[in-house]
Structure 1
Protein backbone atom coordinates (compact mmCIF):
# COMPACT_ATOMS: atom_id res chain seq x y z
CA UNK A 1 0.00 0.00 0.00
CA UNK A 2 2.08 2.91 -1.28
CA UNK A 3 0.25 6.19 -0.80
CA UNK A 4 0.70 8.11 -4.02
CA UNK A 5 -2.30 10.46 -3.98
CA UNK A 6 -0.80 13.77 -2.79
CA UNK A 7 -4.02 15.15 -1.32
CA UNK A 8 -4.70 11.96 0.61
CA UNK A 9 -1.13 11.87 1.83
CA UNK A 10 -1.19 15.41 3.14
CA UNK A 11 -4.60 14.90 4.74
CA UNK A 12 -3.36 11.86 6.67
CA UNK A 13 -0.20 13.68 7.74
CA UNK A 14 -2.10 16.16 9.85
CA UNK A 15 -0.69 15.02 13.16
CA UNK A 16 2.07 16.25 15.42
CA UNK A 17 4.86 13.92 16.36
CA UNK A 18 7.54 14.46 18.98
CA UNK A 19 9.25 11.08 18.89
CA UNK A 20 10.07 8.40 16.34
CA UNK A 21 10.53 4.80 17.46
CA UNK A 22 12.45 2.35 15.29
CA UNK A 23 12.25 -1.39 15.01
CA UNK A 24 15.67 -2.88 14.20
CA UNK A 25 15.85 -6.16 12.23
CA UNK A 26 14.45 -5.73 8.75
CA UNK A 27 13.85 -2.02 9.32
CA UNK A 28 17.25 -0.52 10.08
CA UNK A 29 19.37 -3.52 9.15
CA UNK A 30 18.94 -6.19 6.51
CA UNK A 31 19.42 -8.84 9.19
CA UNK A 32 16.20 -10.77 8.63
CA UNK A 33 17.73 -12.24 5.47
CA UNK A 34 20.93 -13.09 7.35
CA UNK A 35 18.85 -14.80 10.02
CA UNK A 36 16.97 -16.80 7.39
CA UNK A 37 20.24 -17.99 5.81
CA UNK A 38 21.73 -18.82 9.21
CA UNK A 39 18.55 -20.60 10.34
CA UNK A 40 18.65 -22.87 7.30
CA UNK A 41 22.35 -23.65 7.74
CA UNK A 42 22.12 -24.30 11.48
CA UNK A 43 19.05 -26.46 10.93
CA UNK A 44 20.85 -28.60 8.35
CA UNK A 45 23.86 -29.01 10.62
CA UNK A 46 21.73 -30.04 13.60
CA UNK A 47 19.44 -32.40 11.72
CA UNK A 48 16.43 -30.14 11.17
CA UNK A 49 16.61 -29.38 7.43
CA UNK A 50 13.07 -27.99 7.29
CA UNK A 51 13.47 -25.49 10.10
CA UNK A 52 13.69 -22.51 7.73
CA UNK A 53 10.08 -23.17 6.72
CA UNK A 54 9.02 -21.68 10.06
CA UNK A 55 11.45 -18.73 10.03
CA UNK A 56 9.04 -16.11 8.72
CA UNK A 57 6.58 -16.83 11.52
CA UNK A 58 9.28 -15.79 13.99
CA UNK A 59 9.77 -12.31 12.54
CA UNK A 60 9.10 -9.71 15.22
CA UNK A 61 8.96 -12.17 18.13
CA UNK A 62 11.34 -12.34 21.09
CA UNK A 63 13.52 -15.32 21.94
CA UNK A 64 11.13 -16.76 24.49
CA UNK A 65 8.26 -16.94 22.01
CA UNK A 66 10.51 -18.24 19.21
CA UNK A 67 11.76 -20.99 21.50
CA UNK A 68 8.23 -22.09 22.32
CA UNK A 69 7.11 -22.09 18.69
CA UNK A 70 10.12 -24.02 17.41
CA UNK A 71 9.72 -26.60 20.16
CA UNK A 72 6.03 -26.97 19.34
CA UNK A 73 6.78 -27.53 15.67
CA UNK A 74 9.87 -29.73 16.05
CA UNK A 75 9.17 -31.66 19.24
CA UNK A 76 10.44 -31.78 22.80
CA UNK A 77 13.87 -33.07 21.78
CA UNK A 78 14.64 -29.85 19.95
CA UNK A 79 17.18 -27.68 21.78
CA UNK A 80 16.47 -24.07 21.00
CA UNK A 81 19.46 -22.95 23.04
CA UNK A 82 21.88 -25.03 21.00
CA UNK A 83 20.24 -24.08 17.73
CA UNK A 84 20.18 -20.38 18.62
CA UNK A 85 23.86 -20.41 19.63
CA UNK A 86 24.93 -22.03 16.36
CA UNK A 87 22.73 -19.69 14.31
CA UNK A 88 24.25 -16.68 16.04
CA UNK A 89 27.74 -17.98 15.29
CA UNK A 90 26.85 -18.11 11.61
CA UNK A 91 25.32 -14.62 11.67
CA UNK A 92 28.36 -13.30 13.53
CA UNK A 93 30.72 -14.75 10.92
CA UNK A 94 28.71 -13.17 8.10
CA UNK A 95 28.75 -9.77 9.81
CA UNK A 96 32.47 -9.97 10.57
CA UNK A 97 33.08 -10.68 6.90
CA UNK A 98 30.67 -8.13 5.42
CA UNK A 99 29.71 -5.73 8.21
CA UNK A 100 26.22 -4.97 9.53
CA UNK A 101 23.96 -4.68 6.44
CA UNK A 102 22.42 -1.22 6.78
CA UNK A 103 19.15 -0.47 5.02
CA UNK A 104 19.20 2.32 2.40
CA UNK A 105 18.32 5.70 3.85
CA UNK A 106 18.93 4.82 7.51
CA UNK A 107 21.60 7.37 8.32
CA UNK A 108 20.02 10.03 6.16
CA UNK A 109 16.79 9.56 8.15
CA UNK A 110 18.51 9.45 11.54
CA UNK A 111 20.52 12.59 10.78
CA UNK A 112 17.42 14.39 9.55
CA UNK A 113 15.39 13.47 12.64
CA UNK A 114 18.12 14.57 15.04
CA UNK A 115 18.53 17.90 13.21
CA UNK A 116 14.77 18.44 13.46
CA UNK A 117 14.79 17.80 17.21
CA UNK A 118 12.84 14.54 17.41
CA UNK A 119 13.39 12.14 20.29
CA UNK A 120 14.43 8.71 19.03
CA UNK A 121 14.15 5.22 20.49
CA UNK A 122 14.71 1.62 19.45
CA UNK A 123 12.01 -0.97 20.18
CA UNK A 124 13.32 -4.35 19.05
CA UNK A 125 12.25 -7.88 19.94
CA UNK A 126 15.90 -8.92 19.70
CA UNK A 127 17.70 -9.34 23.03
CA UNK A 128 20.13 -6.70 24.23
CA UNK A 129 23.16 -9.00 23.93
CA UNK A 130 22.49 -9.50 20.23
CA UNK A 131 20.97 -6.15 19.24
CA UNK A 132 23.31 -3.67 20.94
CA UNK A 133 26.45 -4.91 19.14
CA UNK A 134 24.69 -4.46 15.78
CA UNK A 135 23.67 -0.92 16.67
CA UNK A 136 27.15 -0.04 17.90
CA UNK A 137 29.05 -1.69 15.04
CA UNK A 138 26.85 0.03 12.46
CA UNK A 139 27.32 3.41 14.15
CA UNK A 140 23.60 3.85 14.79
CA UNK A 141 23.51 3.60 18.60
CA UNK A 142 24.64 7.20 19.15
CA UNK A 143 21.51 8.58 17.50
CA UNK A 144 19.07 7.09 20.00
CA UNK A 145 17.89 8.59 23.27
CA UNK A 146 16.53 5.28 24.58
CA UNK A 147 16.65 1.60 23.62
CA UNK A 148 14.17 -1.11 24.57
CA UNK A 149 15.11 -4.74 23.89
CA UNK A 150 13.03 -7.90 23.70
CA UNK A 151 14.47 -9.42 26.88
CA UNK A 152 13.30 -6.43 28.91
CA UNK A 153 9.64 -7.50 28.70
CA UNK A 154 7.60 -10.65 29.14
CA UNK A 155 5.28 -10.09 26.19
CA UNK A 156 6.59 -9.79 22.66
CA UNK A 157 5.09 -8.09 19.62
CA UNK A 158 2.20 -7.99 18.66
CA UNK A 159 1.49 -7.06 22.29
CA UNK A 160 1.86 -3.28 22.65
CA UNK A 161 4.14 -3.52 25.69
CA UNK A 162 7.45 -2.75 23.98
CA UNK A 163 6.14 0.40 22.31
CA UNK A 164 4.44 1.57 25.48
CA UNK A 165 7.72 1.12 27.34
CA UNK A 166 9.65 2.99 24.66
CA UNK A 167 7.22 5.93 24.89
CA UNK A 168 7.45 5.89 28.68
CA UNK A 169 11.25 5.88 28.51
CA UNK A 170 11.12 8.92 26.24
CA UNK A 171 8.46 10.54 28.47
CA UNK A 172 6.28 11.15 25.41
CA UNK A 173 2.59 10.11 25.13
CA UNK A 174 2.13 7.26 22.64
CA UNK A 175 -0.20 9.45 20.56
CA UNK A 176 2.74 11.80 19.92
CA UNK A 177 4.97 8.97 18.66
CA UNK A 178 5.42 7.48 15.23
CA UNK A 179 6.63 3.89 14.95
CA UNK A 180 8.66 2.60 12.00
CA UNK A 181 8.25 -1.12 11.33
CA UNK A 182 8.86 -3.72 8.65
CA UNK A 183 6.69 -6.56 10.01
CA UNK A 184 2.95 -7.08 10.49
CA UNK A 185 3.47 -8.06 14.15
CA UNK A 186 5.34 -4.84 14.77
CA UNK A 187 2.67 -2.71 13.11
CA UNK A 188 -0.01 -4.33 15.24
CA UNK A 189 2.07 -3.74 18.37
CA UNK A 190 2.62 -0.04 17.66
CA UNK A 191 -0.98 0.50 16.52
CA UNK A 192 -2.37 -1.06 19.68
CA UNK A 193 -0.03 1.16 21.70
CA UNK A 194 -1.81 4.14 20.17
CA UNK A 195 0.94 5.32 17.83
CA UNK A 196 0.99 6.39 14.22
CA UNK A 197 2.58 3.65 12.14
CA UNK A 198 4.79 3.65 9.07
CA UNK A 199 5.59 0.31 7.44
CA UNK A 200 8.67 -0.20 5.31
CA UNK A 201 8.15 -3.80 4.18
CA UNK A 202 11.07 -6.22 4.19
CA UNK A 203 10.32 -9.94 3.87
CA UNK A 204 6.60 -9.60 4.56
CA UNK A 205 4.17 -7.38 2.69
CA UNK A 206 1.01 -6.06 4.40
CA UNK A 207 -2.09 -8.16 3.81
CA UNK A 208 -5.56 -6.67 3.31
CA UNK A 209 -6.32 -6.63 7.03
CA UNK A 210 -3.06 -4.86 7.86
CA UNK A 211 -3.63 -2.25 5.17
CA UNK A 212 -6.63 -1.10 7.22
CA UNK A 213 -4.41 -0.70 10.30
CA UNK A 214 -1.17 0.84 9.06
CA UNK A 215 -1.15 4.60 8.53
CA UNK A 216 1.51 4.71 5.84
CA UNK A 217 3.44 2.16 3.81
CA UNK A 218 6.50 3.28 1.85
CA UNK A 219 9.23 1.41 -0.04
CA UNK A 220 12.28 2.71 1.83
CA UNK A 221 13.48 4.84 4.72
CA UNK A 222 14.15 7.71 2.32
CA UNK A 223 10.39 8.18 1.91
CA UNK A 224 9.98 8.56 5.67
CA UNK A 225 11.99 11.78 5.41
CA UNK A 226 9.55 13.04 2.81
CA UNK A 227 6.56 12.11 4.97
CA UNK A 228 7.87 14.16 7.88
CA UNK A 229 8.89 17.06 5.68
CA UNK A 230 5.37 17.14 4.26
CA UNK A 231 3.87 17.12 7.76
CA UNK A 232 6.14 19.94 8.88
CA UNK A 233 5.26 21.98 5.80
CA UNK A 234 1.54 21.45 6.25
CA UNK A 235 1.54 22.22 9.98
CA UNK A 236 3.80 25.23 9.56
CA UNK A 237 6.28 23.96 12.16
Structure 2
Protein backbone atom coordinates (compact mmCIF):
# COMPACT_ATOMS: atom_id res chain seq x y z
CA UNK A 1 0.00 0.00 0.00
CA UNK A 2 1.73 3.21 -1.15
CA UNK A 3 -0.30 5.46 1.19
CA UNK A 4 -0.95 5.58 4.93
CA UNK A 5 -4.40 7.17 4.53
CA UNK A 6 -6.87 8.41 1.94
CA UNK A 7 -8.68 11.73 2.33
CA UNK A 8 -11.78 12.61 0.33
CA UNK A 9 -13.66 15.75 -0.47
CA UNK A 10 -17.40 15.19 -0.09
CA UNK A 11 -19.59 17.19 -2.49
CA UNK A 12 -18.94 16.39 -6.13
CA UNK A 13 -16.29 13.81 -5.22
CA UNK A 14 -18.06 11.10 -3.23
CA UNK A 15 -21.59 12.47 -3.52
CA UNK A 16 -23.41 13.74 -6.60
CA UNK A 17 -24.61 16.84 -4.76
CA UNK A 18 -23.38 19.75 -6.87
CA UNK A 19 -26.38 19.54 -9.21
CA UNK A 20 -28.65 19.39 -6.17
CA UNK A 21 -26.92 22.46 -4.77
CA UNK A 22 -27.57 24.34 -8.01
CA UNK A 23 -31.29 23.55 -7.86
CA UNK A 24 -31.56 24.42 -4.16
CA UNK A 25 -29.61 27.63 -4.72
CA UNK A 26 -31.87 28.66 -7.58
CA UNK A 27 -34.94 28.10 -5.42
CA UNK A 28 -33.49 29.95 -2.44
CA UNK A 29 -32.35 33.00 -4.39
CA UNK A 30 -35.61 33.13 -6.35
CA UNK A 31 -37.43 33.73 -3.06
CA UNK A 32 -35.44 36.95 -2.80
CA UNK A 33 -35.99 38.01 -6.40
CA UNK A 34 -32.52 36.91 -7.53
CA UNK A 35 -31.44 34.55 -10.30
CA UNK A 36 -28.62 32.07 -9.80
CA UNK A 37 -27.23 31.39 -13.25
CA UNK A 38 -25.14 28.35 -14.07
CA UNK A 39 -21.96 30.37 -14.80
CA UNK A 40 -22.24 32.08 -11.42
CA UNK A 41 -22.91 28.79 -9.63
CA UNK A 42 -19.89 27.13 -11.22
CA UNK A 43 -17.71 29.88 -9.75
CA UNK A 44 -19.00 28.86 -6.31
CA UNK A 45 -18.19 25.15 -6.62
CA UNK A 46 -15.63 24.04 -4.05
CA UNK A 47 -15.81 27.35 -2.17
CA UNK A 48 -16.68 27.65 1.52
CA UNK A 49 -19.87 29.38 2.68
CA UNK A 50 -18.16 32.54 3.94
CA UNK A 51 -16.52 33.12 0.57
CA UNK A 52 -19.73 32.20 -1.27
CA UNK A 53 -21.57 34.91 0.64
CA UNK A 54 -18.91 37.48 -0.26
CA UNK A 55 -19.06 36.47 -3.92
CA UNK A 56 -22.86 36.68 -4.00
CA UNK A 57 -22.78 40.09 -2.33
CA UNK A 58 -20.25 41.28 -4.89
CA UNK A 59 -22.48 39.99 -7.70
CA UNK A 60 -25.93 41.02 -6.44
CA UNK A 61 -25.21 43.89 -4.06
CA UNK A 62 -26.75 44.26 -0.61
CA UNK A 63 -29.42 41.71 0.30
CA UNK A 64 -30.41 39.71 3.37
CA UNK A 65 -27.76 37.04 2.98
CA UNK A 66 -28.53 35.54 6.39
CA UNK A 67 -31.99 34.71 5.08
CA UNK A 68 -30.65 33.56 1.72
CA UNK A 69 -28.15 31.27 3.42
CA UNK A 70 -30.86 29.82 5.68
CA UNK A 71 -33.19 29.26 2.73
CA UNK A 72 -30.43 27.60 0.70
CA UNK A 73 -29.55 25.25 3.55
CA UNK A 74 -33.23 24.42 4.04
CA UNK A 75 -33.62 23.60 0.35
CA UNK A 76 -30.47 21.45 0.47
CA UNK A 77 -31.87 19.58 3.45
CA UNK A 78 -35.23 19.07 1.75
CA UNK A 79 -33.68 17.66 -1.44
CA UNK A 80 -31.37 15.39 0.55
CA UNK A 81 -34.35 13.80 2.30
CA UNK A 82 -35.09 11.90 -0.90
CA UNK A 83 -31.61 10.36 -0.77
CA UNK A 84 -28.25 11.43 -2.13
CA UNK A 85 -26.70 9.54 -5.04
CA UNK A 86 -23.08 8.46 -4.85
CA UNK A 87 -20.55 9.34 -7.49
CA UNK A 88 -19.61 6.32 -9.64
CA UNK A 89 -17.30 3.95 -7.80
CA UNK A 90 -17.63 5.62 -4.39
CA UNK A 91 -19.04 2.66 -2.47
CA UNK A 92 -16.73 0.18 -4.19
CA UNK A 93 -13.60 2.22 -3.44
CA UNK A 94 -14.56 2.90 0.18
CA UNK A 95 -15.37 -0.77 0.74
CA UNK A 96 -12.04 -1.78 -0.79
CA UNK A 97 -10.17 0.57 1.53
CA UNK A 98 -12.14 -0.76 4.50
CA UNK A 99 -11.13 -4.34 3.70
CA UNK A 100 -7.50 -3.21 3.47
CA UNK A 101 -7.77 -1.39 6.78
CA UNK A 102 -6.76 1.93 5.26
CA UNK A 103 -7.65 4.98 7.40
CA UNK A 104 -10.01 7.40 5.67
CA UNK A 105 -11.16 10.95 6.30
CA UNK A 106 -13.38 13.65 4.84
CA UNK A 107 -12.09 17.19 4.27
CA UNK A 108 -15.01 19.33 3.13
CA UNK A 109 -15.93 22.99 2.81
CA UNK A 110 -19.44 22.16 4.04
CA UNK A 111 -20.51 23.08 7.54
CA UNK A 112 -20.67 20.28 10.12
CA UNK A 113 -24.46 19.93 10.20
CA UNK A 114 -24.75 19.79 6.42
CA UNK A 115 -21.90 17.31 6.03
CA UNK A 116 -23.25 15.01 8.72
CA UNK A 117 -26.72 15.09 7.18
CA UNK A 118 -25.36 14.24 3.73
CA UNK A 119 -23.21 11.41 5.07
CA UNK A 120 -26.18 9.97 6.94
CA UNK A 121 -28.59 10.24 4.00
CA UNK A 122 -26.04 8.71 1.62
CA UNK A 123 -25.19 5.87 4.05
CA UNK A 124 -21.48 6.67 3.85
CA UNK A 125 -20.94 7.87 7.43
CA UNK A 126 -19.81 4.42 8.58
CA UNK A 127 -16.72 4.61 6.38
CA UNK A 128 -15.06 7.59 8.05
CA UNK A 129 -13.05 7.82 11.23
CA UNK A 130 -12.51 11.57 10.79
CA UNK A 131 -14.66 14.30 9.23
CA UNK A 132 -13.14 17.78 8.92
CA UNK A 133 -15.67 20.50 8.04
CA UNK A 134 -15.58 24.27 7.57
CA UNK A 135 -16.31 24.68 11.28
CA UNK A 136 -13.05 22.92 12.18
CA UNK A 137 -10.62 25.26 10.45
CA UNK A 138 -9.65 28.91 10.37
CA UNK A 139 -8.59 28.91 6.73
CA UNK A 140 -10.77 27.02 4.26
CA UNK A 141 -9.77 25.59 0.89
CA UNK A 142 -7.71 26.52 -1.14
CA UNK A 143 -5.62 26.77 2.04
CA UNK A 144 -4.21 23.36 3.03
CA UNK A 145 -5.55 23.49 6.60
CA UNK A 146 -8.54 21.11 6.09
CA UNK A 147 -6.31 18.39 4.65
CA UNK A 148 -3.53 18.94 7.16
CA UNK A 149 -6.01 18.71 10.03
CA UNK A 150 -7.53 15.52 8.60
CA UNK A 151 -4.08 13.92 8.39
CA UNK A 152 -3.21 15.06 11.91
CA UNK A 153 -6.43 13.61 13.33
CA UNK A 154 -5.69 10.32 11.59
CA UNK A 155 -2.15 10.40 12.98
CA UNK A 156 -0.45 10.21 9.59
CA UNK A 157 2.08 12.24 7.63
CA UNK A 158 0.20 14.31 4.99
CA UNK A 159 2.94 13.47 2.51
CA UNK A 160 1.87 9.83 2.84
CA UNK A 161 -1.77 10.61 2.02
CA UNK A 162 -3.76 10.26 -1.17
CA UNK A 163 -6.44 12.91 -1.70
CA UNK A 164 -9.48 12.80 -3.98
CA UNK A 165 -11.01 16.09 -5.10
CA UNK A 166 -13.29 17.35 -7.86
CA UNK A 167 -12.84 21.13 -7.67
CA UNK A 168 -9.79 23.14 -8.63
CA UNK A 169 -10.00 24.89 -5.26
CA UNK A 170 -9.91 21.60 -3.40
CA UNK A 171 -7.12 20.16 -5.52
CA UNK A 172 -5.03 23.24 -4.77
CA UNK A 173 -5.60 22.73 -1.04
CA UNK A 174 -4.62 19.06 -1.07
CA UNK A 175 -1.57 19.77 -3.23
CA UNK A 176 -0.46 22.52 -0.83
CA UNK A 177 -0.77 20.01 2.02
CA UNK A 178 1.82 17.84 0.28
CA UNK A 179 -0.56 15.04 -0.66
CA UNK A 180 -0.79 13.04 -3.86
CA UNK A 181 -3.88 14.46 -5.57
CA UNK A 182 -6.39 12.70 -7.79
CA UNK A 183 -8.81 15.16 -9.38
CA UNK A 184 -12.04 13.63 -10.64
CA UNK A 185 -14.10 15.76 -13.01
CA UNK A 186 -17.58 16.85 -11.93
CA UNK A 187 -19.39 20.05 -13.02
CA UNK A 188 -16.28 22.21 -13.29
CA UNK A 189 -13.63 21.23 -15.84
CA UNK A 190 -10.41 20.45 -13.95
CA UNK A 191 -7.39 22.55 -14.81
CA UNK A 192 -5.11 19.77 -13.58
CA UNK A 193 -2.70 22.40 -12.32
CA UNK A 194 -2.63 20.93 -8.81
CA UNK A 195 -3.38 17.30 -9.64
CA UNK A 196 -0.98 14.41 -9.99
CA UNK A 197 -3.68 12.40 -11.73
CA UNK A 198 -6.78 13.48 -13.69
CA UNK A 199 -9.51 10.85 -13.77
CA UNK A 200 -13.00 10.32 -15.13
CA UNK A 201 -14.14 8.52 -11.99
CA UNK A 202 -12.95 7.42 -8.57
CA UNK A 203 -11.96 3.87 -9.47
CA UNK A 204 -9.88 4.86 -12.47
CA UNK A 205 -8.26 7.57 -10.36
CA UNK A 206 -7.44 5.05 -7.64
CA UNK A 207 -5.81 2.80 -10.21
CA UNK A 208 -3.76 5.68 -11.61
CA UNK A 209 -2.54 6.49 -8.11
CA UNK A 210 -1.44 2.91 -7.47
CA UNK A 211 -4.21 1.68 -5.17
CA UNK A 212 -4.88 -2.01 -5.44
Q: Could you tell me the TM-score, scaled by structure 1's length?
A: 0.84
2:126 paired with 1:129: no
Q: Please name the residue that 2:150 is paired with.
A: 166
1:35-54 CA deviation, whole Å, 9 max, x = no partner?
Answer: 11111222222111246542
Please, which runs of 5 or more residues in structure 1 have no aligned partner? 1-14, 233-237
Equivalent residue for 2:173? 189
Q: What is the aligned counterpart of 1:143 among 99, 123, 127?
A: 127
The structure where helix makes up a greater share of residues is 1
Aligned to 1:226: 207
Secondary structure in structure 2 of the residue aligned to 1:46: coil
Number of equivalences: 212
1:55 aligned partner: 41
Q: Decide whether the 8 Å contact of 2:24 with 2:79 is kept in 1.
A: no
Match of 2:28 among 42, 47, 50: 42
Deviation of 1:119 after TM superposition, in Å, equals: 0.7
When residues 53 and 212 of structure 1 are mapped into structure 2, their CA distance, relative to the original with a 3 A threshold, is closer
With over 3 angstroms needed to count, the CA separation of the structure-2 counterparts of 1:194 and 1:137, relative to structure 1, is: same
TM-score normalised to structure 2 length: 0.93
The corresponding residue for 1:90 is 75
**TM-align CA RMSD:** 1.7
Distance in 1 separating the partners of 2:58 and 2:118: 29
Change (3 A) 1:22 1:197: same
SS of structure 2 residue aligned to 1:202 = coil
Bigger mean CA offset, 32-41 vs 216-225: 216-225
Name the larger-Rg structure: 1
* 1:40-72 deviation line (CA, Å, top 9, x unaligned): 222222111246542212211211111122112
